[in-house]
Amino acid sequence: MSFNTKYPSVEDLRSRAKKRIPKFAFEYLDGGCNEDVNLYKNTAEIREVELLPQYLSKHTASSMKTTLFGHEYDAPFGMAPVGLQGLMWPNAPEILAKAASTHNVPFILSTVTTSSIERIGELTEGKAWFQLYHPAKNELRDDILLRCEKAGYDTLVILCDVPTFGFRPRDIRNGLAMPPTMSIKNILQILGKPNWALQTLKHGQPNFETLKPYMPKNLDLKQLGKFMDDTFSGRLNEEKIKPIRDMWKGKLVLKGVANELDAERAINLGLDGIIVSNHGGRQLDAGESTIKPLSRIAKKYGDQIEVMMDSGIRSGPDIARSLASGAKFTFMGRSFMYGVAALGNKGGDHTISLLKTQLQQVMEQICCEKVEDFKNHLID
């Protein structure tokens, strides 16, 4: 096996991550919003999708290779953008980006994570994608896009499902909401996780590296909250997307699409792809799980735009379920972060290897030779 056999599932990684990192960091990663209904539905409802094996069909080897936006990836999954990754494990974005690049799968860098456009561009030789939180000022937007272009990024992801911050009771209790606070309780939690604390000391306090050039120096946590609030206006609309489409020469992807209406708008705006996503159940607790709109959107628009999906995927069978339901490609947020929080430097490689092994097993089991053939194995 090309992964650590002590952790053969994402749930094993999650359990280890929970033991290794401070409670406030784990809860930030693990939680949904409000009562966690949407978070639960994401993982529960995708598991209702059933696949049809065709045991007696002629079958040679299965291949996971997938061509997307003109690039052949080694597997039909990648790493979704996650903010504040260095809070959950020091150097997490670098560890994951490197692993993704080695395995030839995409890593999406979040605007608000703890590594910079330039550093990740270099580590992945320009193969990473960038996710833009929409800046309030056009000059900032233009500057960030220019930096992406210079660093060799081809694919830009814009986000439509954060018009407001999600209501996340754990983060509010832990002081991680906006504006953030650092309480005695959090400091005690850090002291209880010496390995995390040591690694964090070694690598230094995590910062918003991409945003550093625009931030006044030495902000306290309250001022930081205000800076973030003033700098970004998460609410996206067609007027904000049009100039980005005009400016960005590479592929443009809209993330956070949850229904046919927004999918149709994306097509009309000339976008290249959509990620059907509900932000891992962190924004609208009363929303649908992603597998439901995915099936509808893929059926209706799959031949007009690249339809991808995230939210709720935790295993090879889940990736297969999503592909069989019409996704061209899939992404995961938490699964990879559990991996890196559980296994540090080895976490990215382990999690990718694990998911590849699981997905390969499903393909061989149902006699599916190519990723495009998954749709012939859906029990509708």
| Site residues, ligand FMN (CB under 6 A) | 28-29, 42, 80-83, 110, 112, 131, 159, 255, 277, 279-280, 282, 310-313, 332-335
365: burial class by Cβ within 10 Å (0-12, 13-18, 19+)? middle
Reduced to 3 states, what is the DSSP secondary structure of residue 285? coil
User: What minimum distance in Å lies between the beta carbon of 101 and ligand FMN?
Assistant: 18
CA distance 152 to 150: 5
CB of residue 59 to ligand FMN, shortest distance in Å:
30
d(CA 230, CA 232): 6
In the complex, the smallest distance separating the C-beta of residue 367 from ligand FMN, rounded to whole angstroms, is 28
User: HSE on the CB side for 6, CA within 13 Å?
Assistant: 8
Pair 48, 318: CB distance under 8 Å: no
> Which position's Cβ is nearest ligand FMN?
333
Active site residue 134: no
Long-range contact list for 212-218, CB < 8 A, 24+ apart? 212/116, 214/140, 214/143
248: phi then psi, degrees, rounded to nearest 5: -85, 115
Which residues touch 109 (CB under 8 Å, ≥6 apart)?
Answer: 81, 93, 97, 115, 117, 120, 128, 129, 130, 131, 210
For residues 161 and 85, give the distance between their C-alpha atoms in angstroms, rounded to a whole number.
20
355 or 368: CB nearest ligand FMN: 355
Please give the biggest Cα pair distance in the chain. Answer: 66
Q: Which is nearer to ligand FMN, 308 or 367 (CB)?
A: 308
In whole angstroms, how far apart are CA 199 and each of 74, 96, 337, 344? 31, 16, 16, 9
Q: How far is the CB of 68 from ligand FMN (least distance, A)?
A: 17
Nearer to ligand FMN, 62 or 295 (CB): 295
The smaller minimum CB distance to ligand FMN, of residues 101 and 110, is found at 110
Coil/strand/helix, residue 213: helix
Nearer to ligand FMN, 66 or 351 (CB): 351
**Would you say 3 or 208 has its CB closer to ligand FMN?**
208
Give min distance, CB of 333 to ligand FMN, in A: 2
372 contact partners, CB below 8 Å, separation of at least 6: none
CB of 60 to ligand FMN, least distance (A): 32
At its nearest, how many Å lie between ligand FMN and the CB of residue 283? 9
Beta carbons of 312 and 42 less than 8 angstroms apart: yes
| Between 225 and 373, CB nearer to ligand FMN | 225
Specify the residue, 26 or 62, whose C-beta has the smaller distance to ligand FMN.
26
Catalytic residue among 103, 134, 279, 350: 279
Distance between CA 145 and CA 156 in Å, rounded? 9
Q: What is the spatial distance between Cα 173 and Cα 165, in angstroms, rounded to a whole number?
A: 15
Query: CA nearest 311: which of 28, 11, 43?
Result: 43
Catalytic residues: 279
